[in-house]
Amino acid sequence: MNNKVNLTLDNLDDILSAQFDEAKKAKAKTIFLKKLAELSHRYYKGKIMTVPKAPVPGFNWFNVWYTPGVSAVSTTIRNNNDASFELSNRGNLVAVVSDSTRVLGDGDCTPPGGLGVMEGKAFLMKYLGGVDAVALCINSKDKNGEPDPDKIIEFVKMVEPSFGAINLEDISQPNCFKVLDVLREECEIPVWHDDAQGTASVTLAGVINALKLTGRTMSETKFVLYGAGASNTTIARLLLADGADPSKMIIFDSRGALHKNRSDIKADSRYYRKWELCEQTNPGCIETMEEAMKGADMLISLSTPGPDTVKKEWISLMNKQSVVFACANPVPEIYPYAAKEAGAYIVATGRGDFPNQVNNSLGFPGILKGALLVRARKITDNMAIAAAYSQARFAEKHGIHPEKIVPTMDEAEVFPIEAADVAMQAIKDGVARIQMTWDEAYNLAKKDIEHARATIHYLCHEGYIEMPPQNIIDEAFEYTLNQMK
């Protein structure tokens, strides 16, 4: 194999296609992207920094930005805490909080092990949503080394005064359920679990347009959900709220199908969200994937990463024009080419290097921006559903087909539209502190997003942010070729 190529991320697919068949190409791409990520993060020492947004016309201005002048800011906020949203960056600042106990498909990575993902979340919030964010990876373990949800709850309540919203991330179940549900009710700012509500919102957007392309309605569709963690349990909840028939939904966890006879789930009160679904879905108590997949219209899998998690034989049992969402990261449960070989009509994954990226990156920048604009006290399920329909409408307006059922991240216009739609739903749901029109929300969001992008592009153009050196791209490719031998 010739490794002397002028490789870029733009021509990666073509170069790998010339060297590997589809199965090996997918594996090689995963190896390459992981290695390049490691090398790039080492080169840049992370990917987030702090940049002031106020000028320094002269050193006397430090008397304004700091002491003695800033004392007036402190006393003003003391007398009215809501003034903190106007006199500090709080109104546009999100804490990305994680105990790193379930990072992507890698499980417990230790608290600092989640920093790469949390910084990535902050990066996307800024570039896509014009939102500032801080990665906060915390140690939630008790004296026995077990994750303690109450520690996360206490931590978030302690930092709440510094932020406009909290983005929970990569917290293992069942703790994730309690942490979110308690904090949503007890905090005065939005607390949002992106693995759950974010993934569910974008998945619902994909479902909406997939149903349009296959001529189905939500209520008549037979769903199989493979995996019953935070993502799929929330996806199920939003699907049911949007009209899916619970008698036509079957959900699987690592021990089998959910149904009313799952005494193991009923006996463990920590899994109350799963038990709710046991009571609602699969009334026939179907037990096996083979039986569940017979005549199924749509498979939504958020389970164990790896190309053999979902079997081609299962997909071949589905109805004509079947839809498969294989959204585990970093490796989908079945690669798109294999799913299509088995008969799938539409295939989506969580990755941007395949068509139909159903990834929460399409949701959380706009959703959080919309919530922040109106200073929402929480993000309701209605707001997540509104975001899903916003994404789906945007994609349909620009043309949907089996290879494109949701917007892509480079369609910048989707984010201010989504932010405005979410802001209006927050007002409608009565959780907004301030009122504004759709146009006002849209214009504010668009201005902030354009400013964020222009700032980053300017820093790159002027060399303050360096371009990735070619040698690390070549090194990652060389490593990939060696691993593929």
Is 320 annotated in the active site?
no
| pLDDT at res. 432 | 98
Q: Say if CB 268 and CB 242 are below 8 A apart.
A: no
140-173: per-residue pLDDT in tens?
Answer: 999 999 999 999 999 999 999 999 999 999 999 8
pLDDT above 90: percentage of residues in the chain: 88
What is the domain count for the chain? 2
**Sheet harboring 344-349: ordered strands across?**
256-257, 249-253, 223-226, 298-301, 322-326, 344-349
| pLDDT at res. 289 | 97
**Residues 210 and 331 occupy one common structural domain:** yes
Domain termination site, one of 325, 360, 395: 360
Domain assignment of residue 201, yes or no:
yes
**Residues 109 and 242 occupy one common structural domain:** no
Q: Which amino acid is at 79?
A: N
406 in helix, strand or coil?
A: coil
Residue labelled with tokens 């509104």:
386
Query: What CATH number is attached to the domain comprising 175?
Result: 3.40.50.10380
- Output the average pLDDT for the chain: 95
**Residues 120 and 227 occupy one common structural domain:** no
**Residues 243 and 142 occupy one common structural domain:** no
Give Cα separations from 336 to 9, 29, 342, 355, 476 (angstroms): 20, 14, 10, 9, 24
Q: Give the pair of three-digit tokens for residue 24.
A: 């090996």
Q: Which is more confident, 73 or 25? A: 73
How far, in whole angstroms, is CA 205 from its chain's centroid? Answer: 13
Burial (CB < 10 A; 0-12, 13-18, 19+), residue 419, is buried
Is 43 annotated in the active site?
no
**Residues 160 and 244 occupy one common structural domain:** no
State the number of CA atoms in the 13 A half-sphere of 313 facing the CB: 5
Q: What number of other Cβ atoms are within 10 A of residue 139's Cβ?
A: 13
Average the pLDDT over 459-468 and give the result: 95
245-272: per-residue pLDDT in tens?
Answer: 999 999 999 999 999 999 999 999 999 9
Burial (CB < 10 A; 0-12, 13-18, 19+), residue 418, is buried
**Residues 202 and 347 occupy one common structural domain:** yes
H or E segment at 223?
Answer: strand 223-226
Domain termination site, one of 339, 360, 381: 360
**Residues 179 and 226 occupy one common structural domain:** no
**Residues 206 and 349 occupy one common structural domain:** yes
Q: Say whether pLDDT at 3 is over 60.
A: no
> Exactly one of 43, 44, 66, 458 is catalytic; which is it?
66
Q: Say if CB 32 and CB 40 are below 8 A apart.
A: no
Closest CA to 188 of 90, 288, 72, 109: 90
**Residues 163 and 209 occupy one common structural domain:** no
Q: What number of other Cβ atoms are within 10 A of residue 158's Cβ?
A: 9
Domain termination site, one of 360, 391, 419: 360
**Residues 238 and 162 occupy one common structural domain:** no
**Residues 126 and 206 occupy one common structural domain:** no
Closest CA to 194 of 173, 175, 167: 167
- Give the domain range for residue 98: 63-189
Rounded CA-CA distance 323/201 in Å is 17
196-232: per-residue pLDDT in tens?
Answer: 899 999 999 999 999 999 999 999 999 999 999 989 9
**Residues 179 and 209 occupy one common structural domain:** no
> Exactly one of 121, 222, 248, 378 is catalytic; which is it?
121
Query: What CATH number is attached to the domain comprising 282?
Result: 3.40.50.720
Of the pLDDT bands very low, low, confident and very high (cuts 50, 70, 90), residue 5 is: low
Rounded CA-CA distance 133/298 in Å is 35
Domain assignment of residue 26, yes or no:
no
Q: Say whether pLDDT at 6 is over 90.
A: no
